[in-house]
Amino acid sequence: MKRERHTMDEIFRWPLLLGGLILVGLASALFGDDGWDALSWATLAIPLAVLGWKASRQPHLPGS
């Protein structure tokens, strides 16, 4: 059986997006107040929600 090849974009798209959200969340928490606090909570909660969603799914086993 042949393995499927993935491009660099397919491999790093989600980690870069989540890393960017975390960076925005940390910067807004550090430098802002009031509305910025809400932005930081939202941008830091999204990666945690994605992590929880992915962890709750059944693992995909190749060949099954």
Q: Would you say residue 46 lies in a domain?
A: yes
pLDDT of 4 reads 85
CB 55 within 8 A of CB 37: no
Q: Would you say residue 15 lies in a domain?
A: no
pLDDT of 59 reads 75
Q: Would you say residue 39 lies in a domain?
A: yes
pLDDT of 3 reads 81
Length of the chain in terms of residues written: 64
pTM: 0.74
For the chain, how many structural domains are there in total?
1
Q: Would you say residue 44 lies in a domain?
A: yes
Q: Would you say residue 36 lies in a domain?
A: yes
Each residue's pLDDT expressed in tens, for the chain with a length of 64 residues: 678 888 999 999 999 999 999 999 999 999 998 889 999 999 999 999 999 998 898 777 676 5
pLDDT of 58 reads 75
* Structural domain harbouring 45: 22-50
Which tokens in the block code for residue 28?
Answer: 């807004």
Q: Would you say residue 41 lies in a domain?
A: yes
End-to-end CA distance of the chain: 13
